[in-house]
A and B are shown apart, each in its own frame.
Chain A
Amino acid sequence: MAVAEEKTSPEISQEKSWHGIVLQALKRNDVSLVPYVPDRILTTLIKNLHADPFFTTFPTAREEEAVGIVAGAWMGGRRGAVLMQTSGFATLANVLASLAMPYQIPLIMFVTERGTLGEFNYGQSLVCRTMRPVLDSLAMEHHTCTRLDEFEFICDRSIKQSITTQAPVALILSPLLTGGKTFDK
């Protein structure tokens, strides 16, 4: 692609947003199956995934269902990633410990972080506090993404590391990166 063309491509301007970076990193690493349980923060990313024929993206009823789907797809030779919010991650301890970790599945998770930096629902803030202890208790790789200038590096390297080491990774998308959800009523 010519340099001049790159500058005017709409995909390039999309790359400058956090959700554009996620979409391009998935595509670049041939991660095409993206089941999710939605979050308000994920709205644009989900919309853009649906609009792109490269991706097979769909909602599941529960997050662990999505984990099962991408685990099966990996074994069948197709790469996947799961999108969810913090409270969804909180439902996953069993499937992480009994499927993703022992079977060495490169489970790639994007978790939009609720419960901190301006949370307005006390329950959400308590759920959020369970997330990192669960990740740490299983010695799972995880990063809290706060800065746009680092985000492409973290996304791209983490996807590659997950696949080459056959180990799950969780990328926690902080309100510092996404803007988060604010109390507006």
Chain B
Amino acid sequence: MNSTPARNTKVMNRFDLTSRLVAKLKNEEAVVGGIGNTNFDLWAAGHRPQNFYMLGSMGLAFPIALGVALAQPERRIFALEGDGSLLMQLGALSTIATLAPKNLTMVVMDNGVYQITGAQPTPGAVVADIVAIAIASGLGNSAWAADEDDFERLIDQSMSAAGPTLIGVRIDDKPGVGTTRRDPVQIRERFMHGLGVREPL
């Protein structure tokens, strides 16, 4: 393990961090949850109409959130993504850095494994530093959260940042604590209601 980059970061828990984030949302902020455990824990933290749960399209949580951010520049958008998912779509970091939406906060839940498929290590588990990749992609406002308090501080800070923010969090290998109801049309329609794009029928 000598090649592991030094990370003075506490190993935290996805559901706990997601709950801390959701508890801070007072202005109908949008939250996009990536595939699998990431959106399961978002669901478990308490459904809100401004939540979007991704049931496929692995790696697209940040691009989807970017689209919402470009459509609604006055609303704060949070995107939650796993490290394995992000590794599928690293190019999206450069796109986001170029467009630089100031209303986008990205959180990478990094456990180094594909937890949901049997906890196999990701190719980057031992060698890659997601936050360093983000910075090198042009997202200068990227940082590891040292612990839960630091995570909350970084979330607060992102809400008034002049550009997009990426927060890396090291998490344990626990599965999500709930399971999103898999109804894509209802998820999409509720999200559009939550964003004020549509009225319920």
Contact = CB atoms under 8 A, between A and B. Distances in A.
Interface string B68-97: 111110010000000000000111101100
B151 interface: no
A68 B63 contact: yes
Interface of A: 33, 35, 56, 58-62, 64-78, 80, 94-95, 97-99, 102-105
29 contacts: A33-B71, A58-B95, A59-B95, A61-B90, A62-B91, A64-B57, A64-B60, A65-B91, A65-B95, A66-B63, A68-B60, A70-B67, A72-B66, A72-B68, A73-B67, A73-B71, A75-B67, A76-B70, A76-B197, A77-B71, A78-B67, A94-B56, A94-B58, A95-B57, A102-B55, A102-B184, A102-B185, A103-B188, A105-B188
Given A75-B192, A76-B195, A61 B70 contact: no
A99 B89 CA distance: 16
B188 A75 contact: yes
B99 interface: yes
Interface of B: 30, 32, 52, 54-60, 62-72, 75, 89-92, 94-95, 98-99, 184-185, 187-188, 191-192, 195-197
Give chain B's interface secondary structure class.
Answer: helix
A62 B89 CA distance: 8
B63 A72 contact: yes
7 smallest beta-carbon distances between A and B, as pairs: A98-B56, A61-B91, A72-B67, A76-B71, A68-B63, A78-B71, A68-B60
Contacts of B56: 94-95, 97-99, 102
Nearest to B62: A68
A65 B60 contact: yes
Nearest to B67: A72
B184 to A, nearest CB: 4
B60 A61 contact: no
